[in-house]
Amino acid sequence: MNVTSNYQNLFKKVAEKNNFEIHNISPLSGGDINDVFLLETSEKKKVLKVNSASKFPGMFEGEMAGMKKLKAAKAIDVPEMIGVYSEENYAGLLMEYRETSSQTEDFWGIFGKQLADLHKNSRETFGFSEDNYIGSLPQLNNNHKNIVDFYIEERLQPQFKLAKEQGYSLGNTKQFCSALYHIIPEEKPALIHGDLWNGNYLVNADGKPCLIDPAVAYAPREMDLSMMKLFGGFSTSVFENYFSKFPVENGFEERVPIWQLYYLLVHLNLFGTGYLSSCKKIIAQFS
């Protein structure tokens, strides 16, 4: 098998725990954090994501909890999660493999409507059952009744703190946060993907959208919509179909930079100064 020998014991444990034989292992495109493998087994194909258990504690447990919550909503396709396994210093997340195909003609319309159905899943408080990760950074999910409190305390403040520790000067963040109470409308928490850029969905075998690699929470639904607009790659018909099924409050377009700030701060803290000017501009705009 042409794979990293360090993972052999983890592969063996996964096979034993699930009572299947692994016939072949091949690498799939992953990210900076995880190595991803396609396992051809005696019981269909599986995907195994592997990373350092000590470097990213609880990452796969959080991802599995989020994916299970998305799947339970029965709004949009997500792969089934099978289990989290650890061996030596490695952790693995085993999941169902999704065959891919070409988009159906109405792919983007379906995407918009299914995302709206997902966001209609709600609960009383913002947050989630456990903390998780956004990229390789921890993401806090303590419960809040107020939408702005959640966004400031669980999303912005940890990124502001990390940016400051790395020597970045962002401007008047306190004034920016105070302004949000007058800008962001009250709305129920929505079950969101949480990291919905164009690399985090697949086109499944039926030609329909399938979500992967989430940072799930019950959170402001405009966060997903704003992230989709940040790096592009989504047709305008996604938004048209979404809004027709689940309209947003007036002034959404003006609020988009507010939600994008969180994701830009994450990129600043992960990848460096290339994102600093965008962060400072948004903070100054609303301060």
> DSSP string spanning 223-286?
HHHHHHHHS--S-HHHHHHHHHHSPPPTTHHHHHHHHHHHHHHHHHHHH-GGGHHHHHHHHHHH
> DSSP string spanning 10-49?
HHHHHHHHHT--EEEEEEE---SS-EEEEEEESSSEEEEE
Q: Is 213 a catalytic residue?
A: no
- Are the beta carbons of 227 and 266 closer than 8 angstroms? no
Pick the catalytic residue from 35, 106, 149, 195.
195
- Are the beta carbons of 40 and 54 closer than 8 angstroms? no
Please name the amino acid found at residue 35: D
Distance of alpha carbon 186 from alpha carbon 181, whole angstroms: 9
> Catalytic residues, which ones?
195
